[in-house]
Amino acid sequence: MNDVLRDRVVPVLRQRGFRGSMPHFRCVVDDTLRLLTFQFRSSGGSFVVELGHCASGDFTTSYGAVIPQSKMNVTYLSPRSRFRLGATDPLDDHWFDFAGRDNGCDLSATEVLAFLDSDGDRLWSA
């Protein structure tokens, strides 16, 4: 799945101005840092795409650590400030299941790209 995401999704993220490497990506839009992280289920077979945003520049966590913008990722945000791509509600969950499906990796990558197009901007500005 990692290879398919690198081949199909990461180039699209790059075209949209994202920097970083698997699993964490960031992009500055105006004065906002948009964040995207891929998180795989520890037992395998599925993953989530978490989105979040914060002011551009260094980020101070709730426990006082200062994270440089170049190292910032979704995991530093509070859970209430994270959104799962494909979820129907900001508090819902959505997993991309690739195991056990014919062409599961390609189908999951296609789903991620479709949700980025349909929901990405809305979730980043929520």
What pLDDT does residue 123 have? 78
Cis check: omega of the bond before 23, within 30 degrees of 0: yes
Tell me how far apart the alpha carbons of residues 67 and 14 are, in angstroms, rounded to a whole number: 22
Residue 88, pLDDT > 90, answer no
DSSP element (H, E) containing 122: helix 104-124
Residue-wise pLDDT for 20-34, tens only, equals 999 999 999 999 999
Spatial separation of the C-alpha atoms in residues 9 and 117, rounded to whole Å: 12
Between 119 and 39, the more confident residue is 39
8 A C-beta contact, residue 41 and residue 47: yes
Cβ atoms < 10 Å from Cβ of 104:
17
**Per-residue pLDDT reduced to its tens digit, 22-75:** 999 999 999 999 999 999 999 989 999 999 999 999 999 989 999 999 999 999
Q: What is the pLDDT of residue 54?
A: 93
Would you state the pLDDT for residue 126?
64
51: which strand partners? 36, 83
**In one letter, which amino acid is 67?**
I
DSSP 67: E
14 pLDDT tier (thresholds 50, 70, 90): very high
Half-sphere exposure of 90 (CA within 13 A, CB side): 11
Q: Helix, strand or coil for residue 1?
A: coil
Report the chain's mean pLDDT, rounded to a whole number.
92
